[in-house]
Amino acid sequence: MTTLVLDDVARFVKRFVVLTDTQADTLALWSAHTHGIEAFDCTAYLAITSPEKRSGKTRLLEVLELIIREGLSTANISDAALFRSISELTPTLLLDEVDAVFKAREREDLRGLLNAGYRRGAKVRRMGGPRNTTLEEFEVFCPKAFAGIGNCLPDTILDRAIPIRLQRKTRDETVERFRRRVIAPAGELLRDRLADWVEPQIDWLHGQHPDLPDELDDRAQDIWEPLLAIAGMAGGDWPDRALQAALTLSAGDEREDDSITARLLADIHAVFEGRRRRGFAPRT
């Protein structure tokens, strides 16, 4: 049961989005950890990005929404509404089109919320009330996934996130068409299976302190700890798969030089590589 449900989640997301096995394993563990969020002091963000459109980012959020705990999906929400939603619901936030969101300088309050909200107990304070004269305090801790094109997230948020970098599928890569009303029952069944497995173990998970690889920096260790704890609870080959995912995505080639120039060059390379994989020859 324990290993099978994670395997089934990994297979489910790969039905609709082209992913590596490591990415699919990470998404399965992340989805499970949303159901056990009460056990953890930190949460991993997901940074779902691609260098070009139509690479599966929004589709991946739609698939995840079916299996996570209390999914709250939005592409545009006011800061005030978001503060209150997180404080009152402790949802799993799915924020799409973040490349547009962070172009606006006035979203500094949102940036502050997201910077703080990966750690339990984090609060933000804002003036509110009928005349905007009352100091209000909001809890902002909850799991969050962001999707956007290119280098769309501030470095401070990327530092709290596991990178899931997608590319447009090639002619040889196929996925199923996602029809929500048809797929929803299977996704909701997986969601219920995850909840039935994880929620009774929250007290046990709270006491777990999995070994954290030295290859990860302190922030990466914080965000991977819940996922490694979930993998340890699952047993089987999942602890090894989780460790490999952590090293690959947060300590290896996926976590490159974070400079803007390096990321821009990496995205340009990814676009050309995607065109080559799809059979488009460059002009000479």
* pLDDT for position 178: 94
Band (144; pLDDT cuts 50, 70, 90) = very high
pLDDT surpasses 60 at 225 = yes
CATH topology of domain 2-168+192-277: Rossmann fold (3.40.50)
> Do residues 147 and 96 make contact, with C-beta atoms less than 8 angstroms apart?
yes
> Average of pLDDT values for 211-235?
96
User: In this predicted model, what pLDDT tens digit does every residue of 14-48 receive, in sequence order?
Assistant: 999 999 999 999 999 999 999 999 999 999 999 99
Closest C-alpha to 194, from 40, 34, 14: 34
Sheet of strand 144-149: strand arrangement? 71-74, 92-95, 144-149, 45-50, 161-165
Grade residue 171 by pLDDT with cuts at 50, 70 and 90. confident
What pLDDT is stored for residue 38 in this prediction? 96
Provide, rounded to the nearest whole percent, the portion of the chain with pLDDT above 70.
Answer: 85
Query: Phi and psi (nearest 5°) for 153?
Result: -105, 140
pLDDT digits (tens, 9 = 90+) for 71-82: 999 876 777 788
- Cα distances (angstroms) measured from residue 227 to each of 10, 140, 194, 239: 14, 20, 14, 9
For residue 166, is pLDDT > 50?
yes
pLDDT value of position 259: 47
Can you state the angle between helices 108-116 and 79-89, rounded to 10 degrees? 20
Q: By mean pLDDT, which of 11-15, 73-77, 192-196 is the weakest?
A: 73-77
C-alpha–C-alpha distance, residues 175 and 179, integer Å: 12
Mean of pLDDT over the chain: 86
What is the structure's pLDDT at 247?
96
pLDDT, residue 46, reads 97
Helices 218-234 and 21-35: crossing angle in degrees, nearest 10, is 80
Instruction: Average the pLDDT over 77-97 and give the result.
Output: 86
Least confident of 121-125, 184-188, 270-274: 270-274
Lowest-confidence pick of 12-16, 51-55, 61-65, 127-131: 127-131
Residue 284 has a pLDDT of: 44
Q: What is the pLDDT of residue 213?
A: 95
pLDDT digits (tens, 9 = 90+) for 101-120: 776 556 677 888 888 899 99
Domain spans of the chain, in order of start: 2-168+192-277
pLDDT confidence of residue 136: 80
